[in-house]
Amino acid sequence: MALAFDEYGRPFIILREQESKSRLRGIDAQKANISAGVAVSRILRTSLGPKGMDKMLQSPDGDITITNDGATILEQMDVDNQIGKLMVELSRSQDYEIGDGTTGVVVLAGALLEQAEKLLERGIHPIRVAEGFEISSKMAVDHLEKISHKFDFSATNIEPLVQTCMTTLSSKIVNRCKRSLAEIAVKGVMAVADLERKDVNLDLIKVEGKVGGKLEDTELVYGIIVDKDMSHPQMPKQIEDAKIAILTCPFEPPKPKTKHKVDIDTVEKFQTLRKQEQQYFDDMVQQCKDVGATLVICQWGFDDEANHLLMHRNLPAVRWVGGVELELIAIATGGRIVPRFQELTTEKLGKAGLVREKAFGTTKDRMLYIEHCANSKAVTVFIRGGNKMMIEETKRSIHDALCVARNLIRNNSIVYGGGAAEISCSIAVEAAADKYPGVEQYAIRAFADALDSVPMALAENSGLQPIETVSAVKAQQIKENNHCCGIDCNDTGTNDMREQNVFETLIGKQQQILLATQVVKMILKIDDVISPTEY
């Protein structure tokens, strides 16, 4: 307790609560950490699978987000607990590396923590539990490699890729249009993919959205869409065989860098100044015309006089185009970004078969389409939807589908979804537990039980009896030696995920198991929680 004074000299007492707080150590610290991680995991558990529920998140300034994307939910949740923050990081790392499976990785980590708590209560040392989990994760990853299938596809046969992207989209809000959106995602990835190097640069795929229209109006544009319009309403709205000057220099007279003062005390002086400015504009416009440009795209703005002159000289222009968009336009049209008018040459112009301005609905919304580009290594997915939340969720869903297609191009191995891969790994890990004579075998069996939590959550979210359903599928896998049997979430009448066309990428599933195990090991090894004010 201490005495202090406010700004008016009035005394008040400070009670130091820290002294009455006890520090968490040993098994208490581990249990507290586990319960924090499990609490975060349980929030996401109901969002797993095609019948998973969505979460509505409200930001401090009142913005609403509706999503069932694990990374987005955790990103926007206000998590104070340090272990909770580890789970957020876990989801984020899965999103950065793979792009899909962000909910599954947190659900698996939560299940491992639940199993670990039971083992700790039985007196098994956390290090032995962590070692058992590490052994199990290696077994599960190796088993996934054995049960995986190579997926054959080519530039002409993209159906396998579409089927895998449909699996990803089936758990999203946009699942009623999953076929068309999966095709858009795959065609977009194939347009920018380097199949020889097995590499995809997702930065070349721009995802734009505009409120209005319906989800079915979403389209793939082989070119760039810019959320701008022509700078003057009387400029042409459509230009064929456009030669585009891409400028990062403004259409205006140069401003002296030092402080300057101009005294204009006669009409003649003002006329001279005005003529000089006009001459400057004329020279700029003429330089663009001389090199053969039929459209100018400028990063900066230009004033009304410059705009008027451009219109009179029949040189359409677009102003205030962002730097990222300029780069994509340059890549797509094969042009060069020009920082000074003096450097503008014919070779630096970009070429596009068609540049058109498109208006939407009854509003004044207009966008510029740059299509049939000389180098179509940049594409745009243009999303329409009834409201902003729908468009944002569709963008997140498309991002997941793009990542899945990219992962398949990098490594075309797949495993079957619907919990089939987890059940198969669980059976393999359980069978291998007997070979370990030490205490680790308890942890290995616990790991096998934790793997069952993913199909359990899928069954629960689909309105099925979880324990009954999972045990029936497990028995079927063992009896038929068929690792394609999973949870029939969509009630199609078959458990065979091959027939349902439910696939997941091998690298995505392996990454889930490895990341979840790493984080759980880290949490188990924390036995002392020290606050910053203690020392």
Domains of the chain (ranges plus CATH)?
21-150+416-532 (1.10.560.10), 225-375 (3.50.7.10)
d(Cα 132, Cα 449) in Å, to the nearest integer?
Answer: 13
Smallest Cα–Cα separation from 54: which of 169, 165, 172, 166? Answer: 172
Task: Calculate the alpha carbon distances from 232 to 236, 309, 316 in Å.
Answer: 9, 10, 8
Nearest by Cα to 91 from 392, 515, 490, 521 = 515
Residue 397: both structure tokens together: 């869903």
Strands (E), 227-340: 238-247, 295-298, 317-318, 337-338
Q: What is the pLDDT of residues 104-132, one digit of tens each?
A: 999 999 999 999 999 999 989 999 999 99
Distance of CA 244 to the CA centre of its chain: 32
Q: Using one digit for the tens of pLDDT, what is the confidence trace for 201-234?
A: 888 898 999 888 888 889 999 888 988 888 888 8
Q: How far apart are CA 113 and CA 10, in angstroms?
A: 51
What are the pLDDT digits (tens) for 377-403? Answer: 788 999 998 888 889 989 988 998 898
**Res 501: pLDDT:** 81
Residue recorded with tokens 């640069």:
201
| pLDDT more than 70, % of the chain | 94
Q: How many CB atoms lie within 10 A of CB 411?
A: 16
Which are the catalytic amino acids?
69, 102-103, 400
Q: Are 320 and 228 in contact (CB under 8 A)?
A: yes
The answer on pLDDT for 534 being more than 60 is no
Asked whether 221 and 380 are in contact (CB, 8 A), the reply is yes
Q: What is the pLDDT of residue 520?
A: 92
Give residue-wise pLDDT tens across range 449-499. 999 999 999 999 988 898 999 999 999 999 988 888 889 887 888 888 888
Q: Rounded to 5 degrees, what are φ and ψ at 391?
A: -65, -45
Supply the DSSP symbol for 158. Answer: -
pTM of the predicted model, to two decimals?
A: 0.81
pLDDT reported for residue 372: 86
Spatial separation of the C-alpha atoms in residues 157 and 161, rounded to whole Å: 9
Residue 258's pLDDT band (cuts 50, 70, 90): low
**C-alpha span between 413 and 141 (Å, rounded):** 13
Q: Residue 236: count other Cβ atoms within 10 Å of its Cβ.
A: 15
pLDDT at 414: 86
CA distance 285 to 278: 11
Element of type H or E holding 446: helix 440-451
